[in-house]
A and B are shown apart, each in its own frame.
Chain A
């Protein structure tokens, strides 16, 4: 069994947590698929990449989120502009409501040795995955590397893209 199949088998009932970048890609794609390649917050990805993320997320339940990820998500989605925001949030409202929000106390985050390297948001995600045994789905190499070294279930989305592209 390959790494990916192993993660799916091990974590499909334990759930998945998406980093901000992939959550934005998923939500923008759900809102208007054609927008993915046009707007700055997602335009390094393609519609095909959005479909890949959506198919991966569909294999896991529940979907977790941290308040720090939602704050970053909100900051980035602000760039969509006021007119679009109302429509955007109403179309992705269900996805956001279905996510299980987990709060990691700030003192736990502050005591983490990797805080200076990763920052609050990444540490919050790492701690949730450690606590829940769910898989962290990220496009951040540094975060994926540290999670791997701590034996936290993690998938670097770029590995999946590379397998498709190379």
Chain B
């Protein structure tokens, strides 16, 4: 599996899971663990629902998710976790 295939797999998984609730998906990070044979793909997205507070402040953050994918033909998404960052805008 190439990085491109892993990234597309991650995006497809996210859309299937969250569907119309998310918008503007972006590829943020690509990692390959050759020892364990997994791709790590971080995607970010904005949420289509805008809360009243976000509406007032005009501030809408992005959500960052890190997906672990088997590095194999038709590799599956094994898990998805929040990608914690020190500072993001």
| Alpha-carbon distance between A145 and B37 when the two chains are bound, in angstroms | 27
The residues in B between 15 and 46 inclusive whose CB is less than 8 angstroms from any CB of A are 25-32, 34, 42
Task: Point out residues on B near A: beta carbons under 8 Å.
Answer: 2-4, 7-8, 11, 25-32, 34, 42, 64, 83, 85-89
Query: B27 to A148, Cβ gap below 8 A?
Result: no
Report the number of A-B residue pairs with Cβ-Cβ less than 8 Å.
65
Could you list some 18 contacts between A and B, CB below 8 A?
A: A44-B30, A44-B31, A49-B3, A114-B87, A117-B86, A140-B29, A145-B85, A145-B89, A148-B89, A149-B87, A149-B89, A158-B27, A158-B28, A158-B29, A158-B30, A162-B26, A166-B7, A166-B11
Instruction: Give the total of A residues in contact with B, Cβ under 8 Å.
Output: 23
Residues of B contacting A: mostly? mixed
- From B3, B28, B34, A45 is in contact (CB under 8 Å) with B3
